[in-house]
């Protein structure tokens, strides 16, 4: 079972929550028409895999918390250390949506075209991307960089929707 992951831009968390309520938690990208502009990035979680990309851009080592995010959905309190009480709990299978920090958006948006090959070459060295090539990952990286740039230019935020 893989994790479905979409990154998208939106004006604010209230607009995101409204979209989720109208689509029963479905990805804003799979609505007809799509609710927001975004990128399908299956399996690319924000904390680790996107975090590895952020580390590659900044020329630093990945660390826990490098990608700051705030939960937008579900709107119920997160379960304690014992986990969700039942499979019915939205925290058990998702979807989950988080707002990425403006620093993450701006880091992605700030990658210049001539830097992309070196950034992607560093990114694919991450253990989580074992077997991936720079050539296969570059289109996704390019889409994320452009999405972040448009979000920054429109004074919007980046969000990540995930579900099992």
What are the mean pLDDT values of the chain's consecutive 10-residue runs (164 residues total)? Answer: 88 94 89 92 93 97 95 74 62 85 98 97 95 96 98 98 91
Please name which of 116, 112, 109 lies closest in space to residue 153, comparing C-alpha atoms: 109
What pLDDT sits at residue 76?
Answer: 66
Sheet containing strand 157-163, strands side by side = 38-40, 4-10, 157-163, 96-100, 69-73
- With tokens 């390019």, the residue in question is 142
Domain-wise residue ranges, the chain? 4-163
Task: Decide yes or no: CATH 1.10.760 for domain 4-163.
Answer: no
pTM (predicted TM-score): 0.91
- Please check whether residue 53 is in contact with residue 141, taking contact to mean a CB–CB distance below 8 angstroms: yes
């Amino acid at each position: 079972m893989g994790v479905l992951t979409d990154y998208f831009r939106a004006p604010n968390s209230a607009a995101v929550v409204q979209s989720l309520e109208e689509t029963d938690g479905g990805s804003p990208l799979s609505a007809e028409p799509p609710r927001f502009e975004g990128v399908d990035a299956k399996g690319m979680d924000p904390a680790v895999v996107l975090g590895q990309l952020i580390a590659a851009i900044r020329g630093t080592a990945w660390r826990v918390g490098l990608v700051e995010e705030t939960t937008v959905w579900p709107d119920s309190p997160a379960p304690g250390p014992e986990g969700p009480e039942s499979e019915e709990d939205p925290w058990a299978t998702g979807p989950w949506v988080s707002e990425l920090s403006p620093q993450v958006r701006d880091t992605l948006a700030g990658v210049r075209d001539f830097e992309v090959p070196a950034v992607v070459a560093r990114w694919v060295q991450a253990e989580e991307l074992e077997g991936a090539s720079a050539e296969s990952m570059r289109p996704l990286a390019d889409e994320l960089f452009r999405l972040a740039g448009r979000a920054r230019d429109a004074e919007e935020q980046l969000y990540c929707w995930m579900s099992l």
